[in-house]
C-alpha cells in the first residue's frame, strides 16, 4: 500500500535504538582462556568493532622482540633497530650477567599484537596492527631518545615504552624526544613501573 504524505489518521513516531552488538568475538587462540587481562579491558567487545589495522604502527621500545616468533612474525612492519647499535635489528638483547636473551619486549609485543584467531598462543589486544621493534640494550636516556626519534620518523603512530622510568628522564634528552614525537602526531605511552 502507498501512504500519501499528510494522509489523515497516521501517527508516526521515530524510534532511536542504541547500536549494541549481541556478539562477543572469542578468538580460537588456545591461551586466550587464561588471558584474564583481556576480559578485564573488554577485548571481546572491542574485537566486535575492530581487531586492529596494519596501517596503525606501534613501536615497542623495550628489550627487543623475537622477530621469528610464530604468533608475532606477521605483525612486524620491519626488523626494527637496536638503539645502542644501529647496525643491529630489533631482536632481543643479551643480559650482561647471564648472557641470555631478554624476552620482556617479546612478551609486551604479544599482549599488544599477537595474531588474533590463528589457533596459536595468545590473542593480542590489537592483533591486526603493525609492530616496529626497537631494542634498547642499556636503557640509557640517550638510547631511549634515539629509540623514540627512530620510531617517530619511521611510521609509528603509537610508541609503547614498558620501561620503569623516573621523573629525571623528563629533565634530560628524553623529554625533547618525547615532545618531538607528540608534535609529530604520535601517542606516547610509558609504564610507571611495577613499584
Mean pLDDT in runs of 10 for the chain (195 residues)? 61 66 84 92 92 96 96 96 96 86 93 95 95 93 93 98 67 86 95 72
pLDDT of residue 171: 64
Query: Which uninterrupted H or E stretch holds 143?
Result: helix 141-153
Tell me how far apart the alpha carbons of residues 90 and 131 are, in angstroms, rounded to a whole number.
11
Residue keyed to cell 610509558:
190
pLDDT of residue 125: 94
pLDDT of residue 96: 76
pLDDT of residue 6: 62
pLDDT of residue 132: 98
pLDDT of residue 140: 84
pLDDT of residue 173: 77
pLDDT of residue 99: 84
Q: What is the pTM of this model?
A: 0.84
Task: Quote the cell numbers at residue 23.
Answer: 556478539
Residue 75 near residue 131 (C-beta atoms within 8 A): yes
pLDDT of residue 174: 87
Pick from 161, 159, 149, 164: nearest CA to 190: 161
Residue keyed to cell 588471558:
35
Task: Quote the cell numbers at residue 121.
Answer: 598462543
Amino acid at each position: 500500500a502507498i501512504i500519501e504524505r499528510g494522509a489523515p489518521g497516521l501517527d508516526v513516531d521515530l524510534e532511536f535504538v542504541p547500536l549494541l552488538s549481541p556478539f562477543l568475538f572469542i578468538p580460537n587462540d588456545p591461551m586466550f582462556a587464561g588471558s584474564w587481562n583481556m576480559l578485564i579491558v573488554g577485548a571481546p567487545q572491542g574485537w566486535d568493532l575492530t581487531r586492529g589495522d596494519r596501517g596503525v604502527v606501534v613501536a615497542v621500545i623495550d628489550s627487543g622482540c623475537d622477530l621469528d616468533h610464530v604468533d608475532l612474525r606477521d605483525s612486524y612492519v620491519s626488523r626494527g633497530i637496536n638503539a645502542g647499535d644501529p647496525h643491529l635489528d630489533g631482536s632481543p638483547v643479551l643480559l650482561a650477567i647471564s648472557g641470555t636473551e631478554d624476552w620482556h619486549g617479546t612478551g609486551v609485543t604479544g599482549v599488544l599484537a599477537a595474531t588474533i584467531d590463528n589457533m596459536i598462543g595468545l590473542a593480542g589486544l590489537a592483533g591486526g596492527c603493525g609492530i616496529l621493534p626497537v631494542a634498547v640494550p642499556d636503557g640509557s636516556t640517550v638510547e631511549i631518545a634515539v629509540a623514540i626519534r627512530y620510531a617517530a620518523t619511521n611510521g609509528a603512530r603509537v610508541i609503547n615504552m614498558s620501561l620503569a622510568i623516573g621523573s629525571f628522564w623528563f629533565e634530560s634528552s628524553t623529554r625533547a624526544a618525547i615532545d618531538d614525537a607528540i608534535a609529530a602526531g604520535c601517542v606516547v605511552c610509558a609504564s610507571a613501573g611495577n613499584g
